Amino acid sequence: MNESAVLIRTPYGKEDLAELGDWLATHSFICAIQDAHGCFASPGEIRFSFR
Q: What is the pLDDT of residue 9?
A: 83
Give the predicted TM-score (pTM) of the model. 0.58
Residue 36 Cα distances to 4, 11, 25, 50, 51, angstroms: 22, 5, 21, 14, 17
- Segments making up each domain of the chain, as ranges: 1-46
Q: What is the pLDDT of residue 33?
A: 84
Closest CA to 13 of 39, 45, 51, 31: 39
Q: What is the pLDDT of residue 23?
A: 92
Beta strands (DSSP E) in the chain are 5-10, 30-35
Q: What is the pLDDT of residues 1-51, one digit of tens each?
A: 657 899 888 877 677 788 898 999 899 899 888 877 665 556 666 666 665
CA gap 36, 27 in Å, rounded: 25
What residues are paired with 19 via a beta bridge? none
Q: What is the pLDDT of residue 39?
A: 59
